[in-house]
Amino acid sequence: MSELSVNHLLGIKYLKKEDIDLIFKTADHFKEVINRPIKKVPSLRDITIANLFFENSTRTRLSFELAEKRLSADVINFSAASSSVKKGETLIDTVNNILAMKVDMVVMRHPNPGAGIFLSKHVDASIINAGDGTHEHPTQALLDSYSIREKLGEVANKKILIVGDIMHSRVALSNIFALKLQGAEVKVCGPKTLIPKYIESLGVSVETNLRKALEWCDVANMLRVQNERMEMSYFPTTREYTQQFGLNKEILDSLNKEIIVMHPGPINRGVEITSDVADSKQAIILEQVQNGVAVRMAVIYLLASKINR
Partner 1 sequence: MSQKVLLNSKEINIILRRLACQLVENHPNFKNTVIIGIQPRGVFLANRIIQLLEEEYSINNVEYGQLDITFYRDDFRRSDKLLEANKTKIDFIVEDKQVIFVDDVLYTGRSIRAALTAIQSFGRPNVIELLTLIDRRFSRHLPIQPDYNGRQVDAINDEQVKVHWKEVQGEDAVYLLPTSETKQQKTDSK
Q: Is the CB of 235 or the CB of 301 nearer to partner 1?
A: 301
Name which of 87 and 309 has its Cβ closer to partner 1.
309
Cα distance between residue 178 and residue 184, in whole Å: 9
Q: Which is nearer to partner 1, 199 or 302 (CB)?
A: 302
Angle (deg, nearest 10), helices 17-33 and 170-181? 110
Q: How far is the CB of 119 from partner 1 (least distance, A)?
A: 22
Cβ proximity to partner 1, 8 vs 187, nearer residue: 8
Q: Smallest distance from the beta carbon of 75 to partner 1, in angstroms?
A: 18
Interface contacts to partner 1, rule CB under 8 A = 2-3, 26, 28-29, 32-33, 36-44, 46, 71, 301-302, 304-305, 307-309
List the beta strands (DSSP E) in the chain: 48-53, 74-79, 105-110, 126-132, 159-163, 185-189, 205-207, 219-222, 260-262
3-state secondary structure of 278: helix
211-214 — which CB contacts under 8 Å span 24+ positions?
A: 211/251, 213/161, 213/163, 213/187, 213/189, 214/161, 214/247, 214/251, 214/252, 214/255, 214/259
Q: Residue 154 CA to chain centroid, in angstroms?
A: 19
Among residues 117 and 307, whose Cβ is nearest to partner 1?
A: 307
Cross-strand partners of 129: 108
Q: Rounded to the nearest whole angstrom, what is the least distance from the CB of residue 44 to partner 1 in the complex?
A: 8
What's the min distance (Å) between Cβ of 89 and partner 1? 31
Q: Minimum distance between the CB of residue 26 and partner 1, rounded to whole angstroms?
A: 7
Q: Smallest distance from the beta carbon of 136 to partner 1, in angstroms?
A: 24
Query: What contacts 24+ positions apart, CB below 8 Å, involve 84-88?
Result: 85/54
* Cβ closest to partner 1, residue 29 vs residue 212: 29
Separation CA 112–CA 129 (nearest Å):
11
The number of beta carbons lying within 10 Å of the beta carbon of residue 36 is: 9
- Taking the complex as a whole, the smallest distance from the CB of residue 71 to partner 1 amounts, in Å, to 8
- Nearer of residues 91 and 105 to partner 1, judged by Cβ: 105
Cβ-based burial of 172 (10 A; exposed 0-12, middle 13-18, buried ≥19)? buried
How many CA atoms within 13 Å lie on the side-chain side of 255? 22
